[in-house]
Amino acid sequence: MHKVIFDTDPGVDDAMALLFLHAAAQVELIGITTTFGNGTIETTTRNALYIAERFGIAAPVAQGAGVPLVGEAGDPPHFVHGHNGLGDIELPTTLSRQPDPRPAHRLIIDLIRANPGEVEIVAVGRMTNLALALREDPGIAALVKQVVIMGGAFGIDGVLGNVTPAAEANIWGDPLAADEVTGAAWPLTMVGLDVTQKTRMPTEYLRTIADEAGEAGRFIWDISRFYEDFHQKGGVDSIFVHDSSAVAYLLDPTLFEIRRGEIRVVSKGLAFGQTIQKPAAPPSPRVTGMAARFIKSAPASTPMRSAASTRQPCAVWPEPVRR
């Protein structure tokens, strides 16, 4: 069983990933923490509470950071997720669910301390909450089972940033926090644009979800109409599966090829937000089958850093997505 803290900025793809976690029988969702990004912190927290209330998710929801460690948050990308962060679908004006009284970083610390060696963090927004947790209690790093991040890009097959030529949005939004998080002494994997821009849901697949997956499927269809329109205007005939790819890695890492090595994030200058990895060793020879995976054990004293990637004919999603 995976005991998961989901750090998120809902967001259309965040909402899909949250429902993915909620539906997974092997996941115990023990906490949801919100950060700024796809909306203001007030918007993303409202969205997390709304999804938790609508779909009966019992995990506490804690509001997190509304600004990066340094600087201002900037304007949310309304052209991607809509002004309400959920594709501008109609939302209730009031909610019964209320946020946990603790700030997000404190909830993270408390949950890790209460479950030493068991907690897995899936972080799909700015890394600010994780950085604040580490600053307040550095000892939690040794108590975390693993951290899986949707963020970054490593130039595999020419895939670079989506906000600037160097930077992916989640990292660009708080690169100092991302550098502190990737430098902490916990096992960490980044599932970047190298993976997520190859992992797509076409309209036909989304329509099948709407028809066959009940209320959650209809919700995914509704919120993805605005999101799909954004992709199509940019020349992409389907939606990229960003945040749910990190969940897929959590549930079945054998679907991914892994490149190990230390990761740093540029927090100043022209390459602001760029993720850089020094590979621990050259990739292994290609193997046949559904996916190729390279694993090289790091020395016991060195925290593991991994960048997940897919290369044809590897798969990162169940068969229906590749129809």
Which residues belong to the active site? 9, 242
Angle between the 243-251 and 12-23 helix axes, to the nearest 10 degrees? 20
- Measured CA angle at 243 (ends 312, 83), to 5 deg: 130
Q: How many CB atoms lie within 10 A of CB 135?
A: 12
Q: Are 187 and 147 in contact (CB under 8 A)?
A: yes
Token pair recorded at residue 176: 């100092």
- Measured CA angle at 314 (ends 312, 318), to 5 deg: 125
Q: Are 260 and 298 in contact (CB under 8 A)?
A: yes
Residue 61: strand pairing partners: 32
Burial class (CB in 10 A: 0-12, 13-18, 19+), 118: middle
Q: How many CB atoms lie within 10 A of CB 284?
A: 14
Sheet strands (E) in 56-107? 61-63
Greatest alpha-carbon span in the chain = 55
Dihedral sign of CA atoms 73, 188, 163, 315 in order: negative
* Residue carrying structure tokens 């609508």: 54
Rounded to whole angstroms, the Cα distance separating 206 from 167 reads 28
Rounded to whole angstroms, the Cα distance separating 5 from 144 reads 11
Sheet strands (E) in the chain? 2-8, 27-34, 61-63, 119-123, 146-150, 188-191, 200-202, 238-240, 257-265, 275-279, 305-309
Rounded to whole angstroms, the Cα distance separating 8 from 255 reads 23
